Structure 1
Amino acid sequence: MELPRDPDHTITFNMKKIQIQMLILTFATIFAGFFLAAIFHSEITFSISFMKFLFFILLYVIGIVLHELFHLLGFIVWGKCRWSDLVYGVNRELGVAYAGTKKTLRNRAMKKALLLPFWLTGLLPFLIGIYLNNGMLISVSALLIGGAAGDFAMYNQLRKISSEAYIIDDLKKPQLYVYYDNPHINEK
């Protein structure tokens, strides 16, 4: 990745640590979801069949796709990106789906775009699953909440930086480049 100049600060993420956080968050969310559903509904039913398992996988894949699309939507809405600025796909080396932008974003826009999928594909369906006492929806949304561990790690690091800073997301490595002034100001 070619940067406009050396960054003022580089944030690097440990993928193994994030994967452990993802597992802990997923299991904690599943437990909390079934516990809350049992409290609100006085019972919880759970059954597994081949068709339910296929539907579960389908919901999870749709959730992952929506998660990445909501990142892109956040980049468009808050980062003022054009469709041509957006990048998405699967990083096979890291084993993750990704959505990013070639455009430099203000930190405030990046933080909003990072958390949008958590709210819409994680927490909202999780709460609906508890309300409906739907174990499949609770489980799928818990997996998607756990899958947002990388987003939470990035958000947590970006909270420590000025909202006015400029952020470039490395599209190949788990890194963010921080500039305290516009890195493109001296370009011709």
Structure 2
Amino acid sequence: MKEIVVPTNKLTSFSIYTTLVLVLCLISPFYFIHGGELLKSNLYNFFLSWFTVLAVFIGIVFHEIIHLLVFIFSTQVKLKNLKVGINKEMMSPYVHVKIPITTNVYRFSALAPTILLGVFPIIWSFYAANAWFLVFGIIFFVGGSADLYIFWKLKNYDSSTKILDHEEKPGCFIV
């Protein structure tokens, strides 16, 4: 079995790079399209709101629920084959699949939370002229960095290749 694990040093640098690129590529156009006052007001509301704290907390939990739902709806995984918990070292929730699944399901599960909680809010922010959604989307896009890394590492594997989720680390094994 070949192990594919997200190295912490690469994840940190990738997250910083992704944050800088997203901020530069998204905040500037938002500013020019919707104006500085709206951006300033929305950012002020984002960073000083209890609603934001609640929304981010719920978003973190929902990120894992999206993984769980993709696994269940794939028809390859039953509820009894899933382990849900909290990683005490990283203080974060996780969903672990105990059985091998196809690369396609694993890749889709890796991308789904980033698309739903990152990309869609970013798109909505431009449509609704609301920078709160822009920042929320950036946070959850960057929060999906480990998932994006795994997706990228699996790009050359056939869709029917079997993947076994790593039980202890963010990553998987090629079976």
Please give the TM-score of this superposition, normalised by the length of structure 1: 0.81
Distance verdict in 2 for CA 1:153–1:169, change over 3 Å? same
Quote the Cα distance in structure 1 between the aligned partners of 2:59 and 2:21: 19
Q: Does 1:178 align with 2:174?
A: yes
The equivalent residue for 1:88 is: 84
Q: Provide Cα deviations, 1:91-125, integer angstroms capped at 9, x if missing partner.
A: 13245432221121111111111101111111001
Instruction: Answer whether contact 1:103 1:168 (CA < 8 A) is retained.
Output: yes
Identity %: 23
2:66 paired with 1:45: no
Contact 1:79 1:105 in 2 (8 A): no
Distance 1:30 1:50, change over 3 A: closer
Superposed counterparts of 1:117-128, under 5 Å: 117-128=113-124
Partner of 2:111: 115
Contact 2:22 2:138 (C-alpha < 8 Å) held by counterparts:
yes
2:31–2:39: 8 Å Cα contact kept in structure 1?
Answer: no
Return the alpha-carbon distance in structure 2 between the equivalents of residues 27 and 84 of structure 1: 40
Q: Residues of 1 paired with 2:47 and 2:147: CA distance?
A: 32
Structure number with larger C-alpha Rg: 1
1:15–1:95 distance in 2 versus 1, CA, 3 Å: farther
- Segments of structure 1 that go 5 or more residues without pairing to the other structure are 1-6, 180-188
RMSD (CA atoms): 2.1
Q: Distance in 2 between matches of 1:50 and 1:152?
A: 25
Q: Is the 8 A contact 2:45 2:132 kept in 1?
A: no
Q: Which protein is richer in helix relative to its size?
A: 2
SS in 1 for 2:172: strand
Paired residues, number: 172
Q: Write the deviation string for residues 19-76 of structure 1: whole angstroms up to 9, x where unpaired.
A: 2212221232233322222232244432436994322211111111111111111111
SS at match of 1:45: helix
Query: TM (normalized to structure 2)?
Result: 0.87
